[in-house]
Structure formats: C-alpha cells, structure tokens
Structure 1
Amino acid sequence: MQKITLFLLLVFSHTIFSQTKITETEKLAATCKVWGFLKYYHPKVANGDFNWDNQLLEVLPKIDKAQTKEEFSLVIENWIDSLGEVPSIAPITPATAVEYFDKNFDLSWINTNKLFSKKLSKKLQFIEVNRFQGVQFYIDGAEHVGNVTLKNESYLNPDFNDTNSKLRMLFMYWNLIEYFFPYKYQMGEKWETVLEKAVPNVIIAKDASSFFTAMRKVVSKLDDSHVEFVTYQSSSNSNIKTYFPADGKIIDEKIVVTEILGDSLAQADDIKIGDVITKVNDKSIKEYIAENRDLICASNEASYLDKLVKVILMNNLDTVKVEFLKDGKYAIKIMTWFDYHDSHRNEFKKGAQKKKDKFKVLENNIGYVDMGIIKTRHIPDMIEMLKPTKAIIFDMRNYPNGTYEEISKFLNPQEKQFAIYTRPDLSYPGRYRWSGGSSSGFENKDNYKGKVIVLLNEKSVSQSEWTAMCFQTAGNTTIIGSQTAGADGNVSHFDYKGFHTLFSGIGVYYPDKRQTQRIGIVPDIEVKPTILGIQQGKDEVLDRALLFVETGK
C-alpha cells in the first residue's frame, strides 16, 4: 500500500510540475525568438508570402492565454502548421572556399528553451535544415559591402496604447540585431537577457517618450560606438535644444573646456579653455556618468565619456546653472545657453578658431599632417613638402577624408593587407563568413623612410581606426595617444517614422584575425591629456610624439 501511495504521489507531483505556470516575460521572449527565426528561415515567410507583422499581432492574444508549457508549445506548433508544409530539400553544403565565423551564431535555444515541447523543437530544427534559400523578403545586403538594409518593413510608430503593437517593434529590432549585428558576441550583456529585461519595460510604456526610453535602453546594450538612437522631435518649444558655448573633455569626473565653439558667446560668460565644470543644474559630473550608462551606447569607457559630454552640455532650458572649480574654489554662474543648431554651431566654431594647416614642417625637421582637414587633392603637395623630413606625425584625433590610399602608397615599400572582414550570410541568417580584405601600398622603392607616428584618442572612430590599421603596415609606424572609440566597419542605417538608429554593419579585423571592435587601436605609447596640461595650453599627446622622434622612446 505504501508503494502504491508513493507511486501516486510521484505521478501527481510530476503532473503538477509539468503543468507549472509560465511567466508573461518567458512567453513573450520565446515568442520573439520564434517569430524572428521564422521570419528569416521559414521558406514561405522569408519569401514574403505572409504579412508577418499581422501574424504576430494575431498570435499574441493566443500566447497570452497559454498558461503552461504544453499550452504555449501547442499554440506555436499550430501557428507553424498554419504556414503550410516546409518541403524537405537536399542537404545544403557551403562552397569549399567558405570559412565561417561562428562566434555570433547560436540557435541552441531551439533545443534548450524550457517552454518548448520536444515536438516544437523538432519542427524548428527541421525548418533550420530546410531553410529558405532565395532572396530574403525582409532583409538585403549591399553588394560588395555586406552591411544589411531593411526592406518591406513597417516603419510606423507603434500604437502606444496597444501592448502587442509595442512588442512588435521591440521584436523586430531585437531580431535584426540577433541575426545581423556582427559584434553581438562582444556585448557585455547577453542579448537574450536584454530582451527579457526589455519586455516589461515596453509593456508599461504609455506614451512615445517612455517607449523610446525603453528602446534606447535596449539599443545601448549593443556596446558599439557607431550606435546612435535619435528620436524625431516635434516643433514644440519644449524640444528646443540649447548649448554651452564650448566643447570639453571629462577628466577625473570633471569637464574641462577644450575648445571654444562661439567666441562671442563664451566671452559673455568669461568661458576659457581650461575652465573646469563640476556641476550642471546642481548635478555633479559623476552623477551624470552614473545615470546615463543605460541611455548612451559606446564600445568602451573612453568613447562613453566623450559622448556624454555632448549630453551634459546640451539642455532644454535657456537658463542653466553651472558650477566651476578654479584655484580650489567653487563658483556658480547662471548662464544663458542658446538654441543654435549644429550648422550654426559650426559657423560659430569657424569664427572662434584660427585657420589650421593641412600639413606643415615643425621644428627639428618633423612633418605634421592634420588628417581631419587634408584631402586627396592635397596629397601630392604634402608628399613634396614632407618627404625630406625625418618623421611625419599624422594627427588622427579626428575623422579623415578618405586619404588612406594615396598616403599609404607614399609610406609603404610594397602592397600589404591591413584588414579582413566578416559579412552576414543571408542564406543562413545569424552566420557570418570571412569575406575578403583590404590592402594598401604598391611596389615603391622610393617610399618614405622616416618615422611614421599616428596620434589617436577617443574621437578616432571607424575610418580613423581603419586608416590607422592601414598606416601600421608601413612597418615603421608608432601609435601614440589613448584608447580609440572601438567601432570599426561600415555603418548600417535604419530610419523609422519616430526614430533613426544605426550600428556597425560588418566585422573588421586585422589580417591575423585580432579584433578591433570595443578594443580600438591599441597605442604603442599611451598618453592622456591632463587638466593642468590643458590649462597650460599644452598638447601633451603631440609633445610626447615629438619626444619620441628625438629619443626613440
């Protein structure tokens, strides 16, 4: 009798366990994954035979009613069956020359998700094996480049009063990253964890502002300095932006003024290079650093702080309270900031700056090139002037103008490969292929024989980093400065009615497959500006480069 009772208890407990209720977030996260997988893998869905957004909106009420794993799996199974039979095809074998990069690729959830029945997992496995092999309906890849673009997507804002409408946009974006962001494997937080945290935030968002804040928090987790998330502002006065009349850099949890953007505006409040800002509207710079981490996307800390400066020095108010630190004493100024746009700010900036030289010869026969100004048409004159120098300093603490090829021909004695790439395989979404590379230089016995020095910092992003990789092949190149932005690769842009966003579209690596994303270009000699150095008008990075030319160390 005791054995029978024990047996019945075991059966009963097993039944209760198997019928345990599942949470709303678990259901929705799993549905998001299935919906995205079918979108790019199911032959009929990926071909555009269904309105896939409507399909999601129709299935979500059924998902909402499912209370157990069995009920959830049955809803998904019936949904898949309603799409029609998936024909069994011959095994898909990649070309022998294809080398996959699989750090991003992971469909293990098909077998491990605790909400899936064995039958459901087998259905999804079968679809993977017999996946769509035509032209994708929802995604496209630029020829020869590889970064993806959206097509046939709904770009309209969600209905902020409709939970399922909001979830549709979250699911669309999450799966875009899941399958087509080349650096997903480098995120600091697992992408599926980001989804689980985002679902409840999106559900409770009641208006555009709260919804886009929730989405901004999702986007920030890409840890990619290329990423921006810009919402389109209305014409109301509450959205007018005002600006501090100078730019700055965060050092030791303070903002140091590094550049005057409008001389007349700065003079009105006696703002000078080297001034130290400790608070804006009674909030310390340290507090700004802490509270914006989930709202700004950056590959590393150096890039994050650089982006944060723009946030702190921009406001919605005309009158702003700013605390300064000078000679050990704190002083508060009530400043008037102005609502001039970026185009106007550039005009102010031009008026505040002295004209810069594209290239010049410094003391001791050392050449200097400002890579942010010089253009291809200037290279012949640059070569003629700087070829006799003993060293050339290429200042790339800026964004170059596509001059890498002509300069590398001058620097390199022969053609050398400096970068290789990973690009998405649209026939197997989520997988990436090693695909081609870039070379520079040519057989040139008359190449530059002096030292080559490249100056970099957190403002060196994308083309700056890629160009630095190119110049490193010269063999006599030394990188001096600090960590770069760590965002390499062509950018993929996505424009919606309510917001615009972008991310690094292809993977960029050194020829030996060392990564550059998040790490950036590692300096041979690390130098960071100091508050005192800025106040004294020094360029400590350039000074260190000049010392290296003379001493070799």
Structure 2
Amino acid sequence: MGKKNIFAIVLCFFCILQMVAQERETINNTEKYKQFGLVWGLMKYHHSEISKGKYDWDAVFIENVDKLEGVDTQKSLDEFLLNFILSIKVSKIKIANDRDDLFKRNLDYDWIEKYSGNDKLYTYLKQLKDNTIISDYYVSNQSLSKIPTFENEKGFKSFDYKIKVHRLLELFSFWNAIQYHYVNKYLMDKNWFSQLEYFVDDFSNSATQLEYELAKTKLIVSLNDSHSYYFAKPIADSLLKFRPPFDVKVINDTLVITGILNKLGKKDDLKLGDLIVEVNDIDIKSISKQKIGSVFSSSNDSFLKKWSNRWLMWNTEDSIKVKIKRSNSITTKYIHLYKTFGDKDYSSLPFFHIDKEWKLIDNNIGYINLKTISKDEIQKAFEEFSNTNGIIIDLRNYPKNISESDITKYTYPQKRKFIKVLFPMVNRPSLANFDEPLISSIIDPFKSGSKNSQYYNRKIILLVDGSTQSKAEFIGMAIQASPNCITVGENTAGSVLNIAVFTMSDGTKTNFTSVGAFYPDGTGVQRKGLKIDYFVNENTSNFTKDQYILKGIELIKAVKENVN
C-alpha cells in the first residue's frame, strides 16, 4: 500500500472521529437558546404564513424552549430546528432581484452559514432569508408614511419575570425586532449580533426583579439611541436613594455647583461655583460613562450630559466622596446626601437669561427663542427684524407650537430640499431605501420654503446643544438650509425625526428612532447630531454669561464690519 493511500485512510479515520465527537459534543443552554431564538425570529419576520399573524408566535416560543431541555448536542439541535421549521408550511417562496440602490448595511445573516453542513436545514434557512412574500401583521406602516409600527405587539398576557422562558421571550421578541427593523442598527457602538450571547446569559440568570430590569436596561442602552429612554422604578430605587442639596452642570468634564440649599451646603462647606473634579476617586467623564451611560441610552456624549446633570451626584448611601476645587485649593471629602430636604433657602448662580420669546438685543440684532413661540409671533418678529444686522435663532429647546415651514417661509428664497430620509422596508427585513413617504405626492415634507424675493438675506445664527433633539433637530436642519445660516453650539442629541414604539413581552414600552436622517449631501445626522460651524468654548468661569449668544453676536458683528 502506497504512502498516499495510507495517508488518505488515516485522514478519513480522523474525519470520522471528528464527526463522531461533534455528534456527541454537548451544547450549553446559552447556545441552544441563542440558536432557537434566531430561527424563531427569522420565521416571524420572513415566513409567508407566520407574518400574517395566523399563529400565537409568543406561545410557540414558550412551548418550544421548554422542549429544548432534552436537546444536548448540536446534531440533535439541528434536527430540532429543522422539525420546527417544517412544522409550519410555507405557501409560497419568492426571491427578489434587489435593486442596487437599496441600503444594505444592516444585513446580518451570516449566522445561517453555521448550518452549511446540514444541507436540508441550511436550504430552508436560506429560502426563508430570501423570501419576499411577507405580510405586515408584526410590523406595518403608518398610514400615508413609511414609518414602521408594531401595533400587534401587545405583550405576553401571563408574563412573569420569575419564569426564565418568559424572560427569554422578552429578549428575543425585542432583539429580533431591532435586528430586522431598526434602520440605524449599523451605527451601534457594538455589533448587535455579537452581543446576543451576553444578553441571553443576562436574561437567563436574572434571579431578582432588579437583575431582570438591569438586563432589560442594558439591552435598550445598547441601541445608542437618545430616543430609547427606559428607567425602571427598581433601578431608580436602587441607584437614587439619596440626593445632594445642590444642582450641578457639566462643563468640560467638571461639575459646577450652580444652585444650592444654603444651610445644608454650609454644613459641608459647599459654595456656589465650587468645581467637583472627581466623584468616588473617578474623573467626571469616566464616572458619567460608568454610572449614567450604563442605564441611559444616548446617541452621543453631548446628550448624556443631560442625565449626568440630573443624576450623577445621587447615590445609594447618604454620603459621597468628592474632590472639590475652589480658587487655588483642592479638597477631598465626603459630603452629605439626603432623602428629603427641610431647607428651602435656595440660591443659584446669576445666569444670563432673555425672558422674552423674541426681542432686539445689542442694538440691532434680533433674537428668537423657538421653545414656546407661536406662528403669529414669528411673523411679527421677522417683520420687526427685517432691517436688522442679523438674527439669532435659539433652538436649545424643543419647539412646542411651530413647524419648520413657519421659519423657512421667511429665510428661503425658494423651495429647497433640506433632509434626506432613510426608511426601513417593512416587507423586506433588514433592507432600507432613501425614499419619500406616500404623502410626497401631495406635500413633500422634506422640502420647505417657497419662492420669496423678500426673504431675510442677512446672517442667521442658529444656536443648538445636547437638548436639541428629534423634531428640534428636524427644524434645525431646515433652518440650516437657509442661505446665510451659521450653526453655533455643541453636538445635538443625534436622534432625528419620528420614533417607533415597541411593546415588550412584559407590557412595558420602549422607543427607538424609526428612520435615518441625512443631509442632502449624504452626511449622516443620527448619533452625530447637526453640523456645527462654531463649537462654543464654555469654561467653568464664563458659562453663566451664555457664550452661545455672545458668539452669535460676535459673528453677526464681524459680517457687518466686513461689509462696511
């Protein structure tokens, strides 16, 4: 017998041993739950019959996860998954030839390749992935738009967080909705699929309500979406038992005491303007990420400051260690925290504040605050400001009474497109396209203004910060398309336009940004926030004078001086 033949026999022998070993290799619970949850989700959103809502798919999940207890090898799991798929017949399979212009950065089906050694299972999974005959029971469009809704997700009636399989249903119900219908998934800090095993372990091992709520919070925080607010009472109760007798504001990674209850502050020798540079021996930026960023979803650090200002100094104990800087001295000490305050003697730093919605400032500069201003007041403001040197529009807020067209009618010389929107394709999971909503045949919501030879053609300064979010960012993008607009401030919240609301299995609701927002040139806005021309350089000694407005005045005066 030749050497080649001997080598082939030995190789074959080892291959057989390897196959036998794989067949006998045990599979852990995390892997079983993960693989079943993936197949269950694929069928929910890709199967021609299941997507019609003919089956109680949550109950199917519960029933089959319980059956997984008897599955102990990958081979037996493959058989289980194959039988599960075959248990519900597909009426039709239709494969589409996708257009080249579809947005495909959220496609993530590589996990199917794991089953390439099982021809039958692999073929069925690939067919499901490619099927385009999909109904809209689990995800549909709002009328006259292409924003996804999940109105038939109503929760699991008998949900009990103490039951592991119920917690796993909660996880996979939400995880798969995000996997297939969150158009901004590709922008997450961590790949959504890569975190699944971690989520499975977290939900599986939650022995208490607090652990369960923390698992759910981590899941939602992973979206990196400022729209995705969720703060359960057990978490709040565990983290926010005691609060400080003062208010703070984050300025360049330092906490400034901006308001204080005088008697309680005096007890710890605290004063207005004191700078807190460390909390529990950790610098402010790091502890903000650890303590606040772990429980609040945020698109960027600018938005995270909102929650840090409010909650960073709260604690589980009635004192907290801080390093305080005052003038040229630095002191490290524990300060008292309280559940309630009897002291009502409150003082604050003298912040600069314009108390009117619109007024002339600095001789011949107009100022408009969009927070509560009405359409009629905007008209009066632009009429009075028609001969000013420039206008400052303050969008460090959420406008309550106006739309973008109420401003652009005065700032555009003609109608123009100011935003490009990426819509998820409801009947094509994971895909999206830059498309117009159905109402665009009547009114195009992504164009604004009209032909206007009398438009305001002097400098417009737009003020924005981390509180500029959602509708405010949409309005901001419209204002930015004005011919003479300069944007001043810091990164906005990075969560533009509408939200999708998803009811989780336990009945709680969570949100996520439902579309993707881009400038007409293709620059993305989700997570980044609006384009900024001049970043405001606030520091701990000048922030009370409103550096945003001062910078706006400076820029308008510079233009006037250049013209003269």
TMscore range, shorter length: 0.7 to 0.9
State the match for 2:250 in structure 1: 250
Deviation at 1:105, TM superposition (A): 2.7
Please give the secondary structure, in 2, of the residue aligned with 1:492.
strand
Given that 1:395 and 1:456 are in contact with CA atoms closer than 8 Å, whether structure 2 keeps it comes out as yes
**Matches of 1:376 and 1:276 in 2, distance apart?**
42
Given that 1:231 and 1:499 are in contact with CA atoms closer than 8 Å, whether structure 2 keeps it comes out as no
Provide the aligned C-alpha RMSD in A: 3.5
Change (3 A) 1:193 1:156: farther
Change (3 A) 1:434 1:245: farther
Deviation at 1:339, TM superposition (A): 5.4
Deviation at 1:45, TM superposition (A): 1.6
State the match for 1:297 in structure 2: 297
State the match for 1:46 in structure 2: 51
Given that 1:57 and 1:164 are in contact with CA atoms closer than 8 Å, whether structure 2 keeps it comes out as yes
Residue type at the aligned position of 2:483: G
- The answer to whether the aligner puts 1:117 opposite 2:118 as a matched pair is yes
Please give the secondary structure, in 1, of the residue aligned with 2:49.
helix
**Matches of 1:72 and 1:237 in 2, distance apart?**
41
Given that 1:202 and 1:214 are in contact with CA atoms closer than 8 Å, whether structure 2 keeps it comes out as yes
Name the count of aligned residue pairs: 538
* Greater Cα offset, 360-369 or 112-121: 112-121
Deviation at 1:548, TM superposition (A): 1.3
Given that 2:239 and 2:314 are in contact with CA atoms closer than 8 Å, whether structure 1 keeps it comes out as no
Residue type at the aligned position of 2:184: Y
Deviation at 1:475, TM superposition (A): 1.2
Residue type at the aligned position of 2:525: T
Deviation at 1:79, TM superposition (A): 0.8
Given that 1:147 and 1:490 are in contact with CA atoms closer than 8 Å, whether structure 2 keeps it comes out as no
How far does the alpha carbon of each residue in 1:343-380 deviate from its partner, in whole angstroms, 9 at most, with x for none? xx9xx99xx99771101111141111112232323212
- The answer to whether the aligner puts 1:359 opposite 2:361 as a matched pair is no
- The answer to whether the aligner puts 1:440 opposite 2:437 as a matched pair is no
Deviation at 1:51, TM superposition (A): 1.6
- The answer to whether the aligner puts 1:184 opposite 2:192 as a matched pair is no
TM-score normalized with structure 1 length: 0.86
* Greater Cα offset, 294-303 or 490-499: 490-499
- Structure 1 segment 327-476 matched on structure 2, within 5 A: 327-330=327-330, 334-335=335-336, 337=338, 356-401=355-400, 402-436=402-436, 438-476=446-484
Residue type at the aligned position of 1:390: N
- Structure 1 segment 84-103 matched on structure 2, within 5 A: 85-89=89-93, 92=96, 100-103=102-105
**Matches of 1:116 and 1:168 in 2, distance apart?**
28
**Matches of 1:445 and 1:522 in 2, distance apart?**
27
State the match for 2:533 in structure 1: 524
Given that 1:457 and 1:483 are in contact with CA atoms closer than 8 Å, whether structure 2 keeps it comes out as yes
How far does the alpha carbon of each residue in 1:27-61 deviate from its partner, in whole angstroms, 9 at most, with x for none? 32222211111111212221222221121122223
Please give the secondary structure, in 1, of the residue aligned with 2:446.
strand
Please give the secondary structure, in 2, of the residue aligned with 1:369.
strand
Deviation at 1:66, TM superposition (A): 2.7
State the match for 1:197 in structure 2: 198
- Structure 1 segment 211-222 matched on structure 2, within 5 A: 211-222=212-223
How far does the alpha carbon of each residue in 1:374-409 deviate from its partner, in whole angstroms, 9 at most, with x for none? 232321221122222110011112222334211110
Given that 1:73 and 1:115 are in contact with CA atoms closer than 8 Å, whether structure 2 keeps it comes out as no
Change (3 A) 1:261 1:40: farther
Change (3 A) 1:447 1:323: same
Given that 1:296 and 1:308 are in contact with CA atoms closer than 8 Å, whether structure 2 keeps it comes out as no
State the match for 2:442 in structure 1: none
How far does the alpha carbon of each residue in 1:173-232 deviate from its partner, in whole angstroms, 9 at most, with x for none? 101111121100111111011212111111111011101111211211111111111224
* Greater Cα offset, 144-153 or 159-168: 144-153
Please give the secondary structure, in 2, of the residue aligned with 1:480.
strand
Give the one of 512, 535, 538 matched to 2:545.
538
Residue type at the aligned position of 2:357: K
How far does the alpha carbon of each residue in 1:414-450 deviate from its partner, in whole angstroms, 9 at most, with x for none? 1111112122222122222322251111111111021
Residue type at the aligned position of 2:197: E
**Matches of 2:273 and 2:294 in 1, distance apart?**
29
Deviation at 1:144, TM superposition (A): 3.1
State the match for 1:514 in structure 2: 523
Please give the secondary structure, in 2, of the residue aligned with 1:423.
strand
- The answer to whether the aligner puts 1:66 opposite 2:75 as a matched pair is no
Change (3 A) 1:102 1:291: same
Please give the secondary structure, in 2, of the residue aligned with 1:101.
coil
* Greater Cα offset, 177-186 or 276-285: 276-285
How far does the alpha carbon of each residue in 1:267-308 deviate from its partner, in whole angstroms, 9 at most, with x for none? 999976633234567776355224234332211222223323
Given that 1:230 and 1:500 are in contact with CA atoms closer than 8 Å, whether structure 2 keeps it comes out as no
Give the one of 1, 9, 16 matched to 1:12.
16
Please give the secondary structure, in 1, of the residue aligned with 2:502.
strand
Gaps of 5+ in 2: 437-444
Given that 1:359 and 1:368 are in contact with CA atoms closer than 8 Å, whether structure 2 keeps it comes out as yes
**Matches of 1:226 and 1:311 in 2, distance apart?**
18
Given that 2:279 and 2:287 are in contact with CA atoms closer than 8 Å, whether structure 1 keeps it comes out as no
Change (3 A) 1:354 1:531: closer
Residue type at the aligned position of 2:58: D
Percent identity of equivalent pairs: 26
How far does the alpha carbon of each residue in 1:481-500 deviate from its partner, in whole angstroms, 9 at most, with x for none? 12222111211233555644
**Matches of 2:170 and 2:497 in 1, distance apart?**
26
Change (3 A) 1:325 1:196: same
Given that 1:391 and 1:549 are in contact with CA atoms closer than 8 Å, whether structure 2 keeps it comes out as yes
Deviation at 1:143, TM superposition (A): 2.0
Please give the secondary structure, in 2, of the residue aligned with 1:502.
strand
Change (3 A) 1:361 1:206: same
* Greater Cα offset, 294-303 or 143-152: 143-152
Please give the secondary structure, in 2, of the residue aligned with 1:102.
coil
**Matches of 1:195 and 1:262 in 2, distance apart?**
46
**Matches of 1:255 and 1:271 in 2, distance apart?**
13
State the match for 2:487 in structure 1: 479
Gaps of 5+ in 1: none
State the match for 2:510 in structure 1: 501
Give the one of 97, 108, 111 matched to 2:110.
108
TM-score normalized with structure 2 length: 0.85
Deviation at 1:18, TM superposition (A): 3.9
Residue type at the aligned position of 1:365: N
State the match for 1:227 in structure 2: 228
Residue type at the aligned position of 1:215: K
Given that 2:231 and 2:295 are in contact with CA atoms closer than 8 Å, whether structure 1 keeps it comes out as no
Given that 1:140 and 1:151 are in contact with CA atoms closer than 8 Å, whether structure 2 keeps it comes out as no
Change (3 A) 1:286 1:455: closer
* Greater Cα offset, 485-494 or 142-151: 142-151
Change (3 A) 1:128 1:287: closer
- The answer to whether the aligner puts 1:82 opposite 2:82 as a matched pair is no
